[in-house]
Amino acid sequence: MQAPDSDHVRVDTDGRRAEVVITRGEKSNSLSHEAVVDLREAVEAVDDADGVRAAVLRGEGGVLCAGFDLEMMHANDVADHDALHRDFRGLLDALDGMTTPTVAAVEGAAIAGGFELTLPCDLRVLDESAKYGVIEVDLGIFPHQGSTQRLPRLVGLAKAKELVLTGEFVDPAEADRADLVTETCPTEGVLDRARGLADDLTEKAPLGVRNALRAFDHTFDVSLAEGLDHEHALAMEVYGTEDRTEGFEAQLEGRDPEFEGR
């Protein structure tokens, strides 16, 4: 895996699990433009890596991401922000398009752009004391990196409007009830739980997981009939694999399957 040579991001691997780590802990992992570009490179490297079956997105220093660097945002003119927006959207689209399942470890805070960074992840584990939400309406703008598009698909239009228009942090327990996150847990357990979920995913049939994610990609973009046709075609791709044979044989024999991605 060719991970980026970066002062802002690194990639750690542990067996079949990779971790994309934001390493700007001294700035609460706030994002510079360079960090956005490096994060996308890291995400794409993980998704292309042989042997990686699940990924965790996390930050150093007990905080996932405090959003964009405010000094940078204040200094940006419209053209600067347009370029940043396009690169950040490219990062979020890369996360959204990953066929490697992703778990966001939301420790401490995920605010504004940091909140939106978690939305394309497949699973989200939230620190029960974390600051989690979008605050842009208090900055004279509005959140425009998925909060009016991805967020309603997760929690519904009414809840998404409430979060965007009030600019208030969502209570972690409410985030759990609203299905915004997979689960909440105490601060000290967030990273272990995220890693545990990722490790569980590495034991599943990788081709089945990959095609399930590909099927989900079309859930809101096509008619039900087209979506079902797409789902069926992807299912037939994995039905003829060695992993499918192994999965059924292991179940019949009462043992754990050993999937090889073939």
What is the domain range of residue 122?
9-202
Residue 258 lies in a domain: no
User: Do 172 and 236 share a structural domain?
Assistant: no
How far is residue 260 from each of residues 38, 242, 256, measured CA to CA in Å?
A: 31, 8, 13
153-174 burial, b at 16+ Cβ within 10 Å, e below that, comes to eebeeebbeebbeebebbebee
User: Do 196 and 95 share a structural domain?
Assistant: yes
User: Do 112 and 48 share a structural domain?
Assistant: yes
Q: What is the pLDDT of residue 223?
A: 85
Residue 260 lies in a domain: no
CATH code, domain with 238: 1.10.12
Token look-up 């939305």 returns: 119
Single out the residue of 24, 180, 159 nearest to residue 106, CA to CA.
180
**pTM recorded for the entire structure:** 0.90
Q: What is the pLDDT of residue 1?
A: 64
Residue 164 lies in a domain: yes
* Spans in the chain with pLDDT lower than 70: 1-3
Q: What is the pLDDT of residue 2?
A: 65
In this structure, the strands spanning 131-133 and 109-111 are: parallel
User: Do 212 and 197 share a structural domain?
Assistant: no
Which SS3 state, helix, strand or coil, does residue 88 take? helix
User: Do 111 and 155 share a structural domain?
Assistant: yes
Residues 6+ away with beta carbon under 8 Å from 15: 199, 202
